[in-house]
Structure 1
């Protein structure tokens, strides 16, 4: 059986249909950050003085607030990186490196709680699911890196998806930081150089070679995840 035939077999799709509320939860966490961050932009435009002070209390308050905001899917991580770079310069990068892992950990816990509410009780009892999870955990660290690397995979949505796998905490945290670092630095630097922050935050416009970097990250992430899926399915078939 071909790779794509195995990846899309009827048994798997039937099991996903039985847990369609979980798929709706993933979609919800993908759309919510874009909606809330747009509303935040309109509010912040009228209250820019709250951030333009560039004082240590302002930096701490912003990044402490960003932790639950990212974990609860209230704002995309790229948006936080852009705003942090614009208002706090290099001090903002330190804030990001502290707030991101804490937001990831909180998001994983919240994702696990949300998952428990929408997945059917027999999800982990399915032999195919058990076998798949057992095999994919063998590449969990690499998979987390590729998942976090993509600029198009929402942070909160991947937290929920990864919570299903019951991954090791060390692999999750380290893989998250390694995977998110490239795209975080890109949007942080773009935020530092943005001429008008709120227009740029709503529609980040990349010029020159900058346009190729997010595309390269997307391609690398997609190829990497497909490679892991191929390895997982090959091991399952060998058993």
Structure 2
């Protein structure tokens, strides 16, 4: 396969990982509004099947993880936290594995040469645990795109998994709590002031993430 074709395929992969979750979250939100009791009446087997499906839904970028956490809080409350964390962690491994299959060598080389970002990429690889943690903490970095980029850079699996799981906990807890506070999805959508405190918390996490990344970027790889 030619270098240009590989770059195109790898770029389209990242676009898919970023754009598809927006459409799917709209469809899931609409279904939840139209069928509020569908999810709460699951049998044990259906509940297990749902969370197995959730691994693929999040891992294949079929739904944003923050939206999925809000949805979980709305439907199951705190009882949904443990399966959500498990599904999230496994989904991150799935996304990582898929991206490793894509390799991303051509795209990373293009970034190194075209944008002269070799030193920065080497820095990310050398301090991968901290970079993954801060990327997961920040509400700006989409889950699936972070999976892909870290895999393209060859971040070790253990550091990716542990750092990513720890980094996602604060934003996941906030999203879950927001979903729990919504009397209904319609009420949440019609009264955006309900999520203002979440916005403030997200800004706080973003600030911590940006400051941390700036600090890491100044350190030598």
TM-score of the superposition, structure 2-length normalised?
0.82
Q: 2:92 aligns with which of 96, 104, 107?
A: 104
**Contact kept in structure 2, 1:140 and 1:167, CA below 8 Å:** yes
**Contact kept in structure 1, 2:20 and 2:61, CA below 8 Å:** yes
Distance 2:30 2:195 in 1: 25
Residue 158 (structure 2) aligns with: 170
For structure 2, the 5+ residue unaligned runs are 1-5
Relative distance call for 1:106 and 1:153 in structure 2 (3 A) is same
Residue 3 (structure 2) aligns with: none
Residue 123 (structure 1) aligns with: 109
Distance 1:78 1:63 in 2: 16
Determine whether 1:113 maps to 2:101. Answer: yes
Distance 1:107 1:80 in 2: 16
Distance 1:202 1:222 in 2: 31
Residue 207 (structure 2) aligns with: 219
**Contact kept in structure 2, 1:82 and 1:201, CA below 8 Å:** no
Distance 1:31 1:64 in 2: 23
User: Cα deviation per residue 1:103-137 (whole Å; 9 max; x = unaligned)?
Assistant: 00001011222344xx539939x797776544432
**Contact kept in structure 2, 1:141 and 1:172, CA below 8 Å:** yes
**Contact kept in structure 2, 1:51 and 1:58, CA below 8 Å:** no
User: Cα deviation per residue 1:122-172 (whole Å; 9 max; x = unaligned)?
Assistant: 939x79777654443221111000000012211111111111111111111
Relative distance call for 1:201 and 1:33 in structure 2 (3 A) is farther
- CA RMSD of the aligned region, Å? 3.1
Distance 1:229 1:222 in 2: 10
**Which secondary structure does the structure 1 equivalent of 2:35 belong to?**
coil
**Contact kept in structure 1, 2:140 and 2:206, CA below 8 Å:** yes
**Which secondary structure does the structure 2 equivalent of 1:195 belong to?**
coil
Relative distance call for 1:135 and 1:122 in structure 2 (3 A) is closer
Relative distance call for 1:82 and 1:139 in structure 2 (3 A) is same
Larger radius of gyration: 1
Relative distance call for 1:51 and 1:202 in structure 2 (3 A) is farther
- Count of matched residue pairs: 215
**Which secondary structure does the structure 2 equivalent of 1:48 belong to?**
coil
